[in-house]
Structure 1
Amino acid sequence: MHRSGTSMLTRLLNIAGYALPGNLLGANEGNKTGHWEPQFLIDLNQSFLNRIGSDWSDWSEIDFDAIPKDTLSGYQTALQSWARTELGGRSSLVLKEPRSCRLAPPMLAALADEGFETRILVPYRNPLEVAQSLEARDGIALRRGVLMWIRHVLDAERFSRGLPRSFVDYSDLMADWAAELLRISRDVRLDRLSRIDEIAEEADSFISDEHRHHAGDTGTLAAIDYTAGMALTIYRALADLCADPNKAEVMAAFDGLRAQLDEMERLTLPTQRDADRMLAQVQTTLRTLEHEHLDLQVRYEDMTRNVGGIWELHSTVAELNRKNESFISDLSARLAERENAVRMRTDELMQAQSLLSEKVKEINALNARLAEAGSTGQMLQQRLDDAAKRLEESSAEHGLRDEATQARIAQLEEQLTEARAKLEAGLAERSRLETERWQLEQDLMLRLADLEAKLAASQTQIEHLQAERDELVARLATAEQALTETRGRLTETREQLSEA
C-alpha cells in the first residue's frame, strides 16, 4: 500500500545485497530519501489500470475475468520482457510498486511463467497515518484513504497466499529494523537479511524518525467512527500475521471482511463515482474560470501598462517633436550660414579670377611691346650692319675716311647702343612681369585650392546635417506609427473587456 514504509523496506533489502532495477523514481517532496521503485513498472501498472477503467487511488475490486484477454496478455508480456532484461545475470531482483497489491494475480502469473521464484513482503502501517499522508500529498479525503488502505491490504493478503511471505509493521521496522529483518529472513528464507553486522552502519544512517510526518495508534483508530470498525479489526489482525504469515483464523476473517468490502463497493461506489465525475467536471470548470480570470487579470494589467505606456509614448513623441523642431530650426540657420559663406567664397574666387585675367592682359600687352621693341632693334642692327658693310666697301675702294662718314657711323652706333639698352630694359621688365605673373598664379592657385577645400567641407557638413534631419523625421514617423498601433490595441482590449 502507498505511504506504508515500502520505500524504507526496499532500501534495506538493497543495502543487504538484493538488486534493484534501473531507472528508479528518485527523491521528491513526497519521499525525500527516494522511492526505490522502477519508473517503468509505475508507468506500466498505471497504464494498465487506465485501460481497464481504474486508477491507483481506486478502492474497487478488479474483475480480472472481465478484462479482454489481449489487454491482459499484452500487460503480462511487457512485464516479462522488462523483468527478464532487468534481472540479466543477477540472482535477485526487488520489485516495489504499491499498485501491485491490486494487480498481483497477473503479475505473479507472468513472473512465474518467466521462471521467477517470488517471495512476498507486505509492509503495512496504521490506516489513519496512511490516510493522513495521502491527504497531505494528494489531497485525498481521509475516509477514501482508509478505504484504499483496506482494499490494498485485503487484496495483498488474499493474492499472496500459497507463496513465501512476511508481513512487516512500519512502526516495528522504525523501532528495531534489525529484529524485523531477522524475522523476515526466517519467514521467506532470505539469508542475507540475517547478516545484521554487515549492514548495520549503512542501515542506521538511512533510517530516521524525521521522515515520519504522521503517527497514530489503535486508541486513535478506536476513537474515530470510520476507523473503529473494519480498519481497526484488520490492523489488529495484521499483527497476528506478523507472527504467523499463514494463520488460518486471520485469513478466514479477512475473507469475510473482503466480502463485506465488495458488498459495500457495489452499494456505494457507483454513486461515489458519479459524484467524483461531477466533482471533476466542477473542478475542470473552476480551473477554466480561474484561467480565464487570470487571463483577464493579465490582460487588464497589460492594458494598464499600455495606457501608461501610451501616455509615456505621447510625452516622448511630443518631446521628439519639440527637439526635432528646434534641431530643424538650428539646422536651417546653420545651412543658411554655410550657404552665405559659400557665396562669399565664390565671390572672392570670381574676383581673384577677374584680377588674374587683368594681369594676364597686362602681360600680353607687355609681351607685344617687347616683341615690337625687339623688331625695332633688329631693324636698326640690320641698318647698322648694312652701313658698316657699305663703309668697308667704300674704304676698300677709295681708302678714304671723311669726317661726315665717321659722324654718321658714330650716330648709328649711338642709335644702336640706345636700341640695345631699350631692348635690355624691355627684357628685364618682361622677366619681372613674368615672375610677378607666376607668383600671382601660384597665389591664386593656393587660394583657389583653399576655397575648393572649404567648399567641399561645407558641402559634406551640409549633407551630414541633412542626413541627421532625415533620420529625425524617420524616427518621428516611427514613433507616430507606434502610437497609432498602441491606440488601436488599447481600443481592441477595451472592447474585449467590455464583451467579457
Structure 2
Amino acid sequence: MFVAFIGFNQNKGCDFMRKCILVLGMHRSGTSALAGILDRTGIHLGPELLPPGPDNPKGYYENKHINLFNEKILKQVGSSWDDLFFSDDQIHQVLEHEDELKSVISEQFGDRPVFAIKDPRICLLFPLYERVLKTLGADIHVLMAFRHPLEAARSLEKRNGFSIEKGLLLWAGHFLRAEYHSRPYGRIWIDFDDLVKNPCLAADQISGKWGLGLSDAIARRKKEIEDFIDPGLKHHHVSPGKVPGNQTSGDDTADGVPDFIQKILKFRNDFDSVLALETLDSLRREFSRYEALLHPPELKKLPGTIHTNKKIMTKQAETLKANEKIRTRQAETLQVNEKTIAKQAESLEANQKTMARQAQTLQDKENILARQSNALESKKKAIAEQSQILRAKKLRIQDMENSLSWRLSKKCLNFGQRLFFMRPIISKAMSFDKWLKARRDVRIPPEKKRL
C-alpha cells in the first residue's frame, strides 16, 4: 500500500489539490515492489523506513512511524492484520484516532510536495486514512497491487506458518474491503506477474495516467528499477488459466480455491467494469454473511477475551518471573550469607585456637612469673637476712670504734700507716747508712779496723 500527495498549505487553504496515491493490496502481493519502484523514481516515502527482513531482503518500503501507528490502532480495537474476525464495526472505533494520524503524517512528511506511505494494513484502515487525507486536502489516487490469492496464501504459509485456508480468507477480506472503499477514486490495477515481467512499463503507466511527470526519472533509472524487481524472489507461481491444487469432492471449491474467490478471478483483467463491480458487490455481501454466520458475536468477542486473558497471563507471567528473580536473588544472597557464615565460623574457630594458644602461653608466662616471684621473694628474704647481719656487724663495728682499745689500736694503726708511707725514706736512709759504712771501711786500713 502506497500513499503520495502534493502541495497543501493548511494556513492558506488549498491552492491546488495534492495527489495522494494509496497502494492497496494483501500482504505478499507486491506492494513492497511497487513502493520500491516509486521510491526509485523520486517519490518521498518518509525519513525512516522499516529495515529489510529475511522475508523481504530488498526492503518493505514502509514508513516506520506509520507502521507503528497502524499496529497500535489495530491492537487497541482488539485486532491485527491477520485477524479473521475483523469487521467493519471496528472501523468506528478506529476513526477516533483521526487527529493522531494527522499528526503522524504531518511530522513524517512536513511540507514536501510529494511523499508516500505504504502499509498493507491500510486495507483495513482505509476509512480512517480517507478522512484524514481529505482533511489535508489531498486528491486520493489508488494503486491496487494484485496477486493470485493462492500464491499469496502459499507465501504466507511459508513466512507465517498459516494454513492455505486462512491465507485465502485473509486475502479475500483485504481485497474486498480495499476494492470497495477505493471505488470513489481513480485507481490503477497492477498485476504482480506483469510487474515482475516489465516493471518500467508499470511505472510509466502510473506516471502517465496520473500526470506525475516521472518519465525522465524512470528512463534514467531503468536499469536500477529492472535490477530491483528480481523474478527469482517470486517463489510461488499459479498459471492465470489454471489453479493448481487438489480437487476436494463435496465442497464448493475447485482445485482448492473457494468458488467465490474464483468468481473474483474471472475479472482479473478488468475489475472496474460494471459487471465486475456488480459481481464484487454481491460477493462482498455474501462474504459478509458468511463472516456473520461463521463469526457470531460470541465468537467475535473471543479474540478480545483471549487478548485480555493474554494480557492478564502476561502480567502474571511477568510477576511470576519477577518473583522468580527475587527468589533467585534471595537464594543467591542466602548462599552468599551461608558462605560468609562458614568463613566467619572458620575464622572464629581459628581465633579460638589462637586464643587458646595465647591463653596457654599466658599461663606458661604466669607460671614463670610465679617462679620468678618466688625466687625474688627468696632473694628478698636472703637480702633482708644479710641486711640484718650487716646491721649487726655495723653495730659491733660502731661498738668497737667507740671502745678504748679500738681508739688505741686506731692510733697505732695510724702510726703504722705513717711508717708504711715512710718506708721508702727509711729504706733510703738505711741504704745511705750502708753506703757510708762501706766508704768508711775503705778508708780505714785493716789494721786499724782490727783495732
* TM-score range relative to shorter protein: 0.5 to 0.7
Deviates more, 1:76-85 or 1:228-237: 228-237
Q: Residue 97 of structure 2 aligns to which amino acid in structure 1?
A: Y
1:264 maps onto 2:287 in alignment = yes
CA distance in 1: counterparts of 2:114 and 2:68, whole angstroms:
22
Question: Cα distance 1:27–1:359, how it changes in 2: closer, same or farther (>3 A)?
Answer: farther
1:239-254 to structure 2, matched below 5 A, reads 239-240=269-270, 247-249=272-274, 252-254=275-277
CA distance in 2: counterparts of 1:109 and 1:329, whole angstroms:
86
Select 2:36's aligned residue among 4, 7, 11. 11
Q: Residue 197 of structure 2 aligns to which amino acid in structure 1?
A: A
Deviation at 1:34, TM superposition (A): 3.6
CA distance in 2: counterparts of 1:33 and 1:365, whole angstroms:
123
Counterpart secondary structure, 2:189? strand
1:423-438 to structure 2, matched below 5 A, reads none
Deviation at 1:330, TM superposition (A): 7.8
1:82-231 to structure 2, matched below 5 A, reads 82-192=104-214, 194-200=216-222, 202-203=224-225, 206-208=228-230, 211-218=233-240, 221=243, 223=245, 225=254, 226-227=256-257, 229-231=259-261
CA distance in 1: counterparts of 2:116 and 2:126, whole angstroms:
15
Deviation at 1:94, TM superposition (A): 0.5
Q: Residue 192 of structure 1 aligns to which amino acid in structure 2?
A: L
Higher relative contact order (CA 8 A, sep 6+): 2
Q: Residue 61 of structure 2 aligns to which amino acid in structure 1?
A: W
Counting helix residues as a fraction of each chain, which structure ranks higher?
Answer: 1
Deviation at 1:111, TM superposition (A): 0.8
Deviation at 1:5, TM superposition (A): 1.8
Counterpart secondary structure, 1:191? coil
Deviation at 1:196, TM superposition (A): 3.1
1:310-389 to structure 2, matched below 5 A, reads 338=361, 341-358=364-381, 360-361=383-384, 364-365=387-388, 368=391, 372=395, 375=398, 379=402
Counterpart secondary structure, 1:57? coil
Counterpart secondary structure, 1:221? coil
Question: Cα distance 1:230–1:330, how it changes in 2: closer, same or farther (>3 A)?
Answer: same
Counting strand residues as a fraction of each chain, which structure ranks higher?
Answer: 2
Deviations 1:9-34 (A, max 9, x none): 22222232211234544344554444
Deviation at 1:367, TM superposition (A): 5.8
Question: Cα distance 1:359–1:256, how it changes in 2: closer, same or farther (>3 A)?
Answer: same
Deviations 1:265-300 (A, max 9, x none): 314533245567679989979x98xx99xx9xxx9x
Q: Residue 85 of structure 1 aligns to which amino acid in structure 2?
A: E
Q: Residue 278 of structure 2 aligns to which amino acid in structure 1?
A: D
CA distance in 2: counterparts of 1:419 and 1:254, whole angstroms:
167
The alignment's TM-score, normalised by the length of structure 1, stands at 0.57
Q: Contact 1:218–1:232 (CA<8 Å) still a contact in 2?
A: no
Question: Cα distance 1:146–1:336, how it changes in 2: closer, same or farther (>3 A)?
Answer: same
1:277-292 to structure 2, matched below 5 A, reads none
Residue in 1 that maps onto 2:433: none
CA distance in 1: counterparts of 2:54 and 2:416, whole angstroms:
131
CA distance in 2: counterparts of 1:109 and 1:416, whole angstroms:
152
1:238 maps onto 2:268 in alignment = yes
Question: Cα distance 1:109–1:367, how it changes in 2: closer, same or farther (>3 A)?
Answer: same
Deviation at 1:215, TM superposition (A): 3.7
Residue in 2 that maps onto 1:81: 103
> How many pairs align?
361
Counterpart secondary structure, 1:218? coil
Deviation at 1:167, TM superposition (A): 1.9
CA distance in 2: counterparts of 1:59 and 1:258, whole angstroms:
20
Q: Residue 110 of structure 1 aligns to which amino acid in structure 2?
A: V
CA distance in 1: counterparts of 2:144 and 2:378, whole angstroms:
122
Deviation at 1:374, TM superposition (A): 7.4
Deviation at 1:327, TM superposition (A): 8.4
CA distance in 2: counterparts of 1:75 and 1:171, whole angstroms:
36
CA distance in 2: counterparts of 1:370 and 1:18, whole angstroms:
137
1:286-305 to structure 2, matched below 5 A, reads none
Identity across the alignment (%): 23
Q: Residue 150 of structure 2 aligns to which amino acid in structure 1?
A: L
- Over aligned residue pairs, what C-alpha RMSD do you find? 4.9
Q: Residue 66 of structure 2 aligns to which amino acid in structure 1?
A: L
